[in-house]
Amino acid sequence: MIPAPECPPSVGLWPVVSVSLEREDDVVAVRQRARRLAELFGFDAQDQTRIATAVSEIARNAFGYAGGGRVDFALDNATVPQRYRIRVTDHGPGIAALDAILEGRYHSATGMGLGITGARRLMEGVAIATAPGRGTAVTMDKPLPRHALPVTRTRLAEIAGLLAGEARFDSLTAMREQNRELLDTLEVLRSRQDELSQLNAELEDTNRGVVALYGELEDKAEQLRQASELKSRFLSNMSHEFRTPLNSVMALARLLLDRTDGDLTVEQEKQIQLIHKSATQLVDMVNDLLDLAKVEAGKVDILPAPFTADGLLGGLRGVLRPLAAAGPVELVFEDAHHLPPLRTDEGKVAQILRNFISNALKFTERGEVRVSARVAGPDGRIAFSVRDTGIGIAPDDISRVFEEFSQIHNPLQRRAKGTGLGLPLSRKLAELLGGEITVESVVGAGSAFTLTIPAVWPADGGGTGAPVVVDGGSRPCLLVIDDEDTFRYVFRRLVSGYALDVAEACDGEEGVRRAVDLRPGLILLDLQMPRMNGFAALERLAAQPETRDIPVVVVSSSLLTDEDRLRLAHARTILSKGALSRDAVGDVLNAHLPGLRTAAAESP
C-alpha cells in the first residue's frame, strides 16, 4: 500500500494513542478519544466539544472517501503553551479540489469539503497534505489552556494507561453523549440569551435616561443663553445710563479746576482733583463694560481701512509716552516701517495694544516696556508684541487674566487699580479681527503679550467681489484649502513667482467661509480633510451664489474612482499632488487667472 504523504514531524512530539479507522464504529471511538484526551489535558466543556467534532468530521471523511485510515493523538511539547495535536491519515485518492475547498468555492452534493471547512473553524491550526493517488494527511492542533498545568512525560504515561483501561464506546453511548453535549450547548445559549435580554433592557433604560438628560441640558443651555443675553443687554443699557452723569461730573470738575467761577483753596483743588480722577476711572470702567457688552451681543462693527504698522505704533508712541516719562520704566517702540500695509480695523488694533502697554507699565517697577511688530509665518500675518521686565505671571494664572473681573493678587495690584476687563475685551476683539492673543511669561522676569492678526481682515471682501487688495494693486487672490501645513507651504513656494495673494484654510468648513469672505479668483481644494472634506466643500461652494462662479481646482493624493470623479463634476481641473511642479502650477494659474502677471513684472 502506498504510504500517505507526511507532514513535517514536530520536534518534541509525544505520542499518546492511535486509533485505526476500519469500521464506521471507529469514527465514534475517535470522537470519544478526542474528547476524553481534551478533558484530561484541561480543556473546558465547550472546547472538548469543538475538538471532538472537528476530529470526528475529518475521521468520517477518511472513512467515507478513502475507505479507512488512522488517527494519531499526541502532545507537542516544543511550543509554549503545549499543543494538543491530532493527525488523521488515509490512503485514498487524495483531494483534487483542495484550493477551491479552502477558499469556500467548492460545492458538492455529497457534502465533501464541509468537514475540512468546519475543522478549520473549530481548531486553531489545520494543515493538509495531499497528492493524487497518495492519500491525505490532516493535522489539527489547539494550544492547551493557560490555566492548565504543563503535561509531563510521567503524566502523559498515566493518561495513556488510563485510556487503555477504559471501555470502548458503542454508537448508542456516543449518541447519548452527543445529545448531552447538545443540551449543554443549548443551555449555555439560553443563558446568554437571557443575559443579552437583560443587557438590552438596561441599555433601553440608559437611553431613556440619556434622552432625558439631553432635554435638561437643552433647557439649561437655553436658560444660560437667555441669561447671557439679559446680562449683555443690562450692561449695554446701564453703561449708557452711567456714562451721561459721569461725563457731567467730569465736565463740572474741569470747570472748577479751570477757575471758571472763581479761585479755589488748596484743599478745594485737591478734593476736586480726586473727584475728577475717580470719575475718569469710572468712565474707563463703563467704556470697557459697554465694549464688552457690544462684543457679546454681536453689535461691534469692524471698519477695515488701509494703514501701516509704523504709523499705528507712531500714534501710540505719542499718546502713551507721557505715562512712562516720569518713572524708572522706559517705553520703547521699535521701527516697523519695513512691514507691509494692513487693511483691518486700526482702532481695534490700537485699543488692544493700549491695554497691553497700560498693563505692562502698571506692573513693571523698573526696566523697560518694548513694543514691536513683525511678519509671523508664511501666510503674512502680522504679530504685535508688548514685552516688559515686570513681575511676570505664574503659569497657573495666565488663563485667569483673560477672565472677566479677574485680577491676580500681587502687591503691585493693590497700587494699580483696574476693572479686570481689559484683557478679556482684548481677546474678544482679537477674535473679531480673525487673530489671537498669546502670552509668554516668567515670574519675576516679565511678560510678553502678542497680538497676531491677518494683514487683511478675513471678512473684508471689498463689497464688490473683486480680488482682495493688499498693496494698492489689483492682485488676484488664491485660496488654498488643505489640512497639511507642508503642502500649503510647498504650494506657496510654487506660486512665489506670480503677482498674487495667497490665503489659506486648514479644513473644508473654514475654506468655504473664507471663500465667501474673500471671493478669491481661484480655489485649490484638497479632498481628505477634517470636519468637512473636499467633496462636501465643493458641493457647498457650487451651491452658494457668492462662490458658485469661482473656479475650483482639486489637488489630491488619493486614487479617485469613477464615482469620485462624478462627485467632482463642479471642479475645473483635478491634479495629483505627486505630479505638482512649477510648470504644472503655472499652467493652472494661467488657465484660470487670465492676465496674471509675474512678480518681476510688478517690480519698479
Q: Does residue 199 share a domain with residue 128?
A: no
Q: Long-range contacts: 408-417, Cβ < 8 Å, 24+?
A: 410/363, 412/362, 412/363, 412/365, 413/363, 416/362, 416/363, 417/281
- Which amino acid appears at position 579 of this protein? A
Q: Do the beta carbons of residue 140 and residue 125 sit within 8 Å?
A: yes
> Per the domain annotation, does 467 fall within a domain?
no
Q: Does residue 443 share a domain with residue 339?
A: yes
pLDDT of residue 147: 87
Q: Is residue 220 over pLDDT 50? A: yes
pLDDT of residue 83: 93
> 1: which 3 cell numbers?
500500500
> Per the domain annotation, does 559 fall within a domain?
yes
18-40 confidence digits (pLDDT tens): 999 998 888 888 998 999 999 99
Q: Does residue 445 share a domain with residue 522?
A: no
Q: Does residue 505 share a domain with residue 434?
A: no
> Per the domain annotation, does 5 fall within a domain?
no
Q: Does residue 116 share a domain with residue 85?
A: yes
Residue 387's pLDDT band, with cuts at 50, 70 and 90, is very high
Instruction: For residues 358 and 43, give the distance between their C-alpha atoms in angstroms, rounded to a whole number.
Output: 79
Instruction: For residues 255 and 240, give the distance between their C-alpha atoms in angstroms, rounded to a whole number.
Output: 23
DSSP 305-327: EEE-HHHHHHHHHHHHHHHHHTS
Residues contacting 427, CB < 8 A, separation 6+: 402, 437
Nearest to 604 by CA among 470, 493, 468, 473: 473
The CATH number that applies at residue 70 is: 3.30.565.10
The CATH number that applies at residue 263 is: 1.10.287.130
516-555 confidence digits (pLDDT tens): 888 898 999 988 888 888 899 999 999 888 888 899 999 8
Domains in the chain: how many in total?
4
More confidently predicted of 514 and 117: 514
Residues 324-341: what's their mean pLDDT? 82
Is this prediction's pTM over 0.85? no
Q: Do the beta carbons of residue 352 and residue 422 sit within 8 Å?
A: no
pLDDT of residue 481: 92
pLDDT of residue 2: 34
Instruction: For residues 243 and 287, give the distance between their C-alpha atoms in angstroms, rounded to a whole number.
Output: 8
Beta bridge partners of 452: 383, 436
The per-residue pLDDT of the chain, averaged, comes to 80
Residues 280-291: what's their mean pLDDT? 71
pLDDT of residue 7: 44
How far apart, in Å, do the first and last CA atoms of the chain sit? 100
**Which region among 107-116, 245-254, 468-477, 496-505 has the lowest average model confidence (pLDDT)?**
468-477
Beta bridge partners of 85: 74, 141
- Which amino acid appears at position 362 of this protein? K
At how many degrees (to 10) do helices 114-122 and 45-66 cross?
Answer: 160
Which one of 269, 300, 331 terminates a domain? Answer: 300
Distances (CA, A) of 34 to 41, 181, 208: 11, 14, 50
Q: Is residue 15 over pLDDT 90? A: yes
The CATH number that applies at residue 506 is: 3.40.50.2300
Domain carrying residue 294: 194-300
Q: Does residue 252 share a domain with residue 154?
A: no
Distances (CA, A) of 65 to 26, 61, 92, 113: 15, 6, 7, 11
> Per the domain annotation, does 183 fall within a domain?
no
Q: Is residue 462 over pLDDT 50? A: no
Which one of 285, 300, 315 terminates a domain? Answer: 300
Q: Long-range contacts: 107-116, Cβ < 8 Å, 24+?
A: 112/61, 112/65, 114/57, 115/57, 115/58, 115/60, 115/61, 116/57, 116/58, 116/61
Residues contacting 210, CB < 8 A, separation 6+: none
Which among 171-180, 221-230, 448-457 has the top mean pLDDT?
A: 448-457
Q: Does residue 449 share a domain with residue 312?
A: yes
> Per the domain annotation, does 61 fall within a domain?
yes
pLDDT of residue 110: 56
Q: Does residue 315 share a domain with residue 342?
A: yes
Beta bridge partners of 599: none
> Per the domain annotation, does 269 fall within a domain?
yes
> Running DSSP on this structure, what letter comes out for residue 522?
E
Q: Residue holding cell 488643505?
A: 482
Burial of 367 by CB count in 10 Å (0-12 exposed, 13-18 middle, 19+ buried)? middle
Q: Does residue 159 share a domain with residue 21?
A: yes
- The angle formed by the CA atoms of residues 209, 211 and 213, to the nearest 5 degrees, is 70
**CA dihedral over 346, 351, 355, 361, signed as positive or negative:** positive
3-state secondary structure of 229: helix
User: Per 3-state DSSP, what percentage of the chain is helix, strand, and coil (rounded to 5)?
Assistant: 50, 20, 35
Q: Does residue 249 share a domain with residue 362?
A: no
**Which region among 338-342, 577-581, 591-595 has the lowest average model confidence (pLDDT)?**
577-581
Q: Does residue 226 share a domain with residue 146?
A: no
Mind spelling out the 3-state secondary structure of 408-429? CCCHHHHHCCCCCCHHHHHHHH
Residues 191-199: what's their mean pLDDT? 83
Residues contacting 127, CB < 8 A, separation 6+: 7, 138, 139
